[in-house]
Amino acid sequence: MRVISGKYGGQVLVSFQASHIRPTTDRVKESMFNKVAFRLEEARVLDLFSGTGSLSIESLSRGAESVDAVESHSKSLEIIKKNKEKLKIGKELKLIKMDVFRFLEKSDLEPYDVVFVDPPFTKKIAHKVMLKIERSLILKNGTLVVIESAMDEPIESEYLGFHLLDVKDYGDKKVSYFEYKGL
């Protein structure tokens, strides 16, 4: 697993094998980031279910101003910290140890420009996460939500205030791109 492009391009990231971790492959990550690159420059990014931090670091590498990485597993947070140290990333990458659903219920959240969502495929919760996002305070007009899900997991084409921009299939997974248009 490596950083595809930008400031940290080519750097190999620390990873590990665990049942709750299924890092986004380099091929899928490259495709995703090529599609959203124009939105990342100086963006505030939220990475939900951060895992190894690969999407967080790729975002910073491609010009994001800051990334909040939300992850509930201690081992995953340790890996993100190692990658952060290895690449000498500072306060622009903030690690938040919290359940994603609890995080989305917070009342003191600021809106983000781009939100990455990569929930554990085995739990089949992508739709549930989108329902929670549509009622959260992380959205502003134009927020892009990129959500990964298993091919056999249903994701709606419409959520309150969102417009589906695209869906890409990658064998066992799909990536859906939603833009928040407001209520």
Of 66 and 172, the one with more pLDDT: 66
Contact, 119 vs 125, CB < 8 A? yes
CATH numbers and ranges of domains, the chain: 26-180 (3.40.50.150)
| Global pTM value | 0.93
- In this model, does residue 16 exceed pLDDT 80? no
Please report the pLDDT score of residue 21 as a whole number: 55
How confident is the model over 97-148, as pLDDT tens digits? 999 999 999 988 899 999 999 998 888 999 999 999 999 999 999 999 999 9
> What average pLDDT does the chain have?
92
Sheet order of strands, 173-180 included: 93-97, 66-71, 44-48, 114-117, 144-150, 173-180, 162-170
Contact, 156 vs 131, CB < 8 A? no
Distance CA 75, CA 161 (A): 35
